[in-house]
Amino acid sequence: MSSTDEVWRALANASFAVISYVTPTGKPRSSGVVYTTVDRKLYVVVAVDSWKARHITTGGQVAVTVPVRRGGLISLLVPIPPATISFHASATVHPAGSLVNHPLWQRLGSLLPPDRRSTSAVIEIRPEGQFLTYGIGVSLMRMRDPAVARARVPVSGSFGPSTTAVPA
């Protein structure tokens, strides 16, 4: 069984996620993104003309799945599916250049090359409710048993809610 802190550690150690959303015309879409975590939120930097920047609305709902690689050297010899963390979230799209003078900007440095800082939007993803996990906090052998490998874990835990406010 995984804990809230264990899930947040796994999210902080990963960097790739699939974000799913619905376009304004009602069409489902999903996109792979590179992210970083800051204060129990995920941040994604995207081009202002990308589908993600155009179709994810501020305050809009998204679904996120993060694959968590497991198995170390064994995974090179035997196909081992990744563990996963899935959740619903509220998203805020910060327009290009809007966070340039915010302290958060320095923490996004690895995602944001200096030459793209004024032309990239930042999507802030705030997980809500529960994480649905598979294989987090269980051994590889125990991952074979879905009843043991699956868990529902509250998004908020011992660290409490985030206290860092980012301007909309």
In a 10 Å sphere around its CB, with 0-12 CB exposed, 13-18 middle and 19+ buried, how is residue 35 labelled?
Answer: buried
Find the CATH number of the domain harbouring 142: 2.30.110.10
159 is a domain residue: no
Task: Give this prediction's pTM.
Answer: 0.84
Overall number of domains in the chain = 1
**122 or 108, which is more confident?**
122
Helix (H, G, I), strand (E, B) or coil at 5: helix
**Which domain does 10 fall in, by range?**
4-154
Beta bridge partners of 128: 88
Assess if residue 167 is contained within a domain: no
- pLDDT tens, residue by residue, 14-45: 999 999 999 888 889 999 999 999 999 999 98
According to the model, what pLDDT value does residue 82 have?
86
Q: How far apart are CA 144 and CA 54, in angstroms?
A: 40
Would you say residue 149 lies in a domain? yes
> Is residue 164 in some structural domain?
no
The band of 48, judged by pLDDT with boundaries at 50, 70 and 90, is confident
- Does the pLDDT of residue 157 top 70, yes or no? no
Q: Is residue 163 part of a domain?
A: no
